[in-house]
Amino acid sequence: MKYLQNSTLKFFPEKCTGCGRCTEVCPHAVFEMSDKKAVMKHKDKCMECGACAKNCAFGAISVNSGVGCAAAVITGMLRGTEPVCGCDSSSGCC
Amino acid sequence: MDKQFQPVTGGNKSMLLKSPAAACCGPAQKIDDSIFRQDFVTGTFINEQVTFPVAATLLTRKDRWNHVKARTGSFRNNFTVVPGLYAVGNPSSNSDVFVSANYGMSFNYLREALHGMNAWILVLDTKGINVWCAAGKGTFGTAEVVNRIRLSGVEKVVKHRKIIVPQLGAPGVDAAEVQKQTGFRVMYGPVLAKDIKAYVAAGYKATGEMRIIKFGVIDRLVLTPMEINPAMKKYPQFALAVLVIFGLTPEGIIFKNAFYDGMPFLLGGLFAVLTGAFMTPMLLPFVPFRSFALKGLLTGLAVFVPLSFSMADVFQYSELTQLAFVLLFTAFTSYFAVQFTGATTFTHLSGVKKELKYALPIYIVTAVLSAFLILYDRVGGMI
Ligand code: SF4
Ligand code: SF4
Closest Cα to atom 8, ligand 1: which residue? Answer: A16
Atom 7 (ligand 2): residue with closest C-alpha? A26
Do the domain assignments include residue A5? no
How many residues can be counted in chain A?
94
Confidence at A82, pLDDT banded by 50, 70, 90:
low
Per the DSSP assignment, residues forming a β-bridge with B247 are none
Domain end residue (candidates: B178, B213, B248) = B213
| Domain final residue pick, B163, B180, B213 | B213
Is residue B8's pLDDT more than 70?
A: no
CATH code for the domain of B83:
3.40.50.11600
Residue that terminates a domain, selected from B213, B232, B265: B213
Nearest residue in chain A measured CA to CA from B228? A92
Q: How big, in percent rounded to 5, are the helix, strand and coil portions of chain B? A: 60, 10, 30
In whole angstroms, how far apart are CA B9 and each of A39, B16, B90, B238, B313? Answer: 45, 11, 9, 53, 66
List, in order, residues 6 or more apart from B367 with CB less than 8 Å away: B328, B331
Task: Give pLDDT, residue B330.
Answer: 96
| B147-158 average pLDDT score | 94
Q: What percentage of chain B exceeds 70 in pLDDT?
A: 90
Sign of CA dihedral B213, B219, B225, B227: positive
For atom 3 of ligand 2, which residue has the closest CA?
Answer: A46
**H helix or E strand, kind and range, residue B369:** helix B349-375
Q: Which residue of B has its CA nearest to A7?
A: B350
pLDDT tens-place string over residues B281-314: 999 999 999 999 999 999 999 999 999 998 888 8
Least confident of A80-89, B76-85, B207-216: A80-89
Q: B168 or B312, which is more confident?
A: B168
Q: What confidence category does residue A39 fall into, taking pLDDT thresholds of 50, 70 and 90? A: very high
> What total number of domains does chain B contain?
2
Q: Which one of A26, A77, A93 makes the best mutation probe of the B interface by having the most chain B beta carbons within 10 Å?
A: A93
Query: Does residue B202 sit in the same domain as residue B222?
Result: no
Helices marked H in chain A: 21-25, 51-55, 70-79
Q: What is the pTM of this model?
A: 0.81
- Residue A47 lies in domain: 10-86
Please report whether residue A77 resides in a domain. Answer: yes
Per cent of chain B over pLDDT 90 is 60
Ligand 1 within 6 A of A47 CB? no
Given the CA of residue A61, which atom of ligand 1 is nearest to it? 7
Residue B258 is predicted with a pLDDT of 85
Longest pairwise C-alpha distance within chain A: 48
Q: Is the dihedral of CA B131, B133, B134, B135 positive or negative?
A: positive
Q: In terms of residue numbers, what domain contains B277? A: 218-382
- Asked if pLDDT for residue B21 goes beyond 80, the answer is no
Residue A92 lies in a domain: no
Q: CB of B347 within 8 Å of any CB in chain A?
A: yes
Whether residues B82 and B123 share a domain: the answer is: yes
Asked whether the beta carbons of B39 and B3 are under 8 A apart, the reply is: yes
B54: three-class secondary structure by DSSP = strand
- With cut-offs at 50, 70 and 90, classify the pLDDT of residue B381: low
Same domain, B251 and B179: no
Beta strands across the sheet bearing B162-165 = B16-17, B41-47, B50-55, B84-88, B119-123, B96-100, B162-165, B185-188
DSSP assignment of B132-186: HHHHHHTSSSHHHHHHHHHHHTHHHH-SS-EEEE-GGGTTT--HHHHHHHHSPEE
The confidence score (pLDDT) of residue A68 equals 57
How far is it, in rounded angstroms, from Cα B82 to Cα B121? 12
Q: Are residues B133 and B254 in the same domain?
A: no
Instruction: For residues B263 and B282, give the distance between their C-alpha atoms in angstroms, rounded to a whole number.
Output: 27
> Measured from the CA of A29, which atom of ligand 2 is nearest?
8
Q: Same structural domain for residues B231 and B363?
A: yes
Residues B180 and B227 in one domain: no
Digit-coded pLDDT (tens) for B313-326: 888 888 899 999 99
pLDDT at A93 (0 to 100):
42
Count of beta carbons in the 10 Å neighbourhood of residue A19: 17
pLDDT exceeds 80 at position B48: no
Dihedral angle sign, alpha carbons of residues B82, B85, B87, B88: positive
Helix B349-375 × helix B319-339 angle, to 10°: 160
User: Counting atoms of ligand 1 from 1, which one is nearest the CA of A59?
Assistant: 2
Q: Which residue has the higher pLDDT, B176 or B77?
A: B176
The CATH number that applies at residue A36 is 3.30.70.20
Please tell me the least confidently modeled range out of B149-158, B232-241, B244-253, B361-370: B244-253
Does A37 fall in a domain? yes
Residue A55 lies in a domain: yes
Assign B1 a pLDDT band (cuts: 50, 70, 90).
very low
Output B232 or B4, whichever has higher pLDDT. Answer: B232
Q: Are residues B225 and B370 in the same domain?
A: yes
Lowest mean pLDDT among B7-16, B30-39, B80-89: B7-16
Task: Compare CB distances from B211 to A29, A50, A68 and report the shortest one's residue.
Answer: A29
The answer to whether the CB of B190 falls within 8 A of the CB of B208 is no
B382 pLDDT tier (thresholds 50, 70, 90): low
DSSP character at residue A34:
E
Q: Are residues B353 and B240 in the same domain?
A: yes
Residues B208 and B240 in one domain: no
Mean pLDDT value of segment B50-62: 90
Best to test chain B binding among A49, A84, A90 (most B CBs inside 10 Å): A49
Query: Do B324 and B369 sit in the same domain of this protein?
Result: yes
Q: Are B84 and B38 in contact (CB under 8 A)?
A: no
Instruction: Please tell me the predicted confidence (pLDDT) of residue B122.
Output: 97
CA distance B67 to chain A (A): 16
Residue B19 has pLDDT above 70, yes or no: no
Which A residues 17-56 touch B at CB under 8 Å?
21, 23-29, 45-51, 54-55
pLDDT at B359 over 90: yes
Regarding whether B201 and B243 lie in a shared domain, the answer is: no
How many Cβ atoms are within 10 Å of A25's Cβ, its own excluded? 27
Count of domains for chain A: 1
Asked if residue A38 belongs to a domain, the reply is yes
Q: Do B74 and B203 belong together in one domain?
A: yes
Please give the ipTM for the structure prediction.
0.85
Asked whether the predicted pLDDT for residue B3 surpasses 70, the reply is no
Query: What does the pLDDT read at residue A94?
Result: 43
Query: What angle separates helix A70-79 from helix B349-375, to the nearest 10 degrees?
Result: 70
Q: Which of B93, B85, B151 is nearest to B122 (CA)?
A: B85
